[in-house]
């Protein structure tokens, strides 16, 4: 659609140590309907793929050969967005609520419909396999783990809850989100405030 939203500049100092975030991290599957602020969304996306060195174009996670095969999308009530690390912004791709469809693609995991956002991490494997061959596939999987863990720990540090989701139909997710053919959905992370 070409509509871009500049995200707030990420904060580089928080109130919680990494150790405390690790100790507090738990998978939570009950969320309030309270929306996340753009500041919170900014921090989560920056933790997963944000640029941390503008001169060298390095990101928040390690990447084999600095090839950065991951693409991050978010599903929210007001639309479906693609995160653009260069410039730290969101591109609106669809202005509709796809959370119900994403719930269906995950075989009825209803907490996805309740979470204010779900982060969908996709991989473009050819960016890495073109240099490293079959071994590059393993490097991509390792990188997804780095990005996901950063996002989960950032959620904790912001007082939010998250849960890793790996059970879904790749084809259904790709079709629902109309992902480019080379964007393989690998990891879904619903994030929100825990419903007690």
Gyration radius (Cα) of the chain, Å: 16
CA separation for the pair 72, 45 (Å, rounded): 8
Architecture of domain 3-192: 3-Layer(aba) Sandwich (3.40)
| Predicted pLDDT of residue 69 | 98
How much is the pLDDT for 44?
A: 98
**Domain spans of the chain, in order of start:** 3-192
The per-residue pLDDT for range 82-139, each reduced to its tens digit, is 999 999 999 999 999 999 999 999 999 999 999 999 999 999 999 999 999 999 999 9
User: Whole-angstrom Cα distance, residue 79 to residue 130?
Assistant: 33
pLDDT at 2 over 90: no
Q: What is this structure's pTM? A: 0.97
Q: Distance of alpha carbon 11 from its chain centroid, rounded?
A: 18
Q: What is the pLDDT of residues 54-76, one digit of tens each?
A: 999 999 999 999 999 999 999 99
For residue 98, the model assigns a pLDDT of 98
* pLDDT at position 186: 97
Alpha helix segments (H runs only) across the chain:
18-24, 38-49, 99-105, 111-114, 126-132, 135-157, 170-177
| Phi and psi based region of residue 76 (left: phi greater than 0; alpha: psi -120 to 50; beta: remaining) | beta
The answer to whether residue 1 scores a pLDDT higher than 70 is: no
The residue-averaged pLDDT of 147-167 equals 98
Res 174: pLDDT: 98
Strand-pairing partners, residue 161, are 192
> Could you tell me the pLDDT band of residue 187, with boundaries at 50, 70 and 90?
very high
For 153-179, b/e burial (b = at least 16 CB within 10 A) is bbbbbbebbbbebeebeeebbbebbeb
Query: CA angle, 63 as apex, 23 and 74 as ends, to 5°?
Result: 65
For residue 72, the model assigns a pLDDT of: 98
The average confidence (pLDDT) of the chain is 97
Please compute the mean of the pLDDT values over residues 138-166 and round it to a whole number: 98
Residue 17 has pLDDT above 60, yes or no: yes
Q: Do 152 and 164 contact (CB within 8 A), yes or no?
A: yes
Q: State CA 75 to chain mean position distance.
A: 10
Q: Dihedral of the CA atoms 21, 121, 112, 159 (nearest 10)?
A: 20
């Amino acid at each position: 659609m070409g509509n871009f939203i500049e995200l707030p500049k990420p904060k580089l100092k928080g109130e919680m140590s990494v150790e405390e975030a690790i100790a507090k991290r738990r998978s939570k599957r009950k969320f309030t309907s309270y929306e996340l602020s753009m500041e919170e969304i900014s921090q989560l996306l920056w933790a997963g793929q944000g640029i941390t060195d503008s001169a060298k174009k390095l990101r928040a996670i390690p990447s084999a050969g600095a090839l950065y095969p991951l693409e991050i999308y978010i599903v929210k009530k007001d639309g479906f967005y693609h995160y653009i690390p260069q410039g730290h912004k969101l591109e609106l791709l669809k202005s509709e609520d796809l959370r119900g469809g994403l719930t269906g693609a995950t075989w009825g995991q209803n907490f996805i419909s309740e979470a204010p956002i779900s982060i969908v991490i996709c991989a473009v494997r050819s960016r890495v396999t073109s240099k490293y061959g079959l071994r590059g596939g393993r490097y991509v999987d390792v990188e997804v783990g780095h990005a996901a863990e950063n996002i989960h720990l950032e959620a904790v540090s912001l007082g939010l809850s998250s849960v890793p989701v790996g059970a879904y139909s790749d084809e259904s997710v790709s079709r629902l989100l109309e992902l480019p053919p080379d964007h393989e959905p690998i990891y879904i992370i619903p994030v929100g405030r825990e419903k007690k």
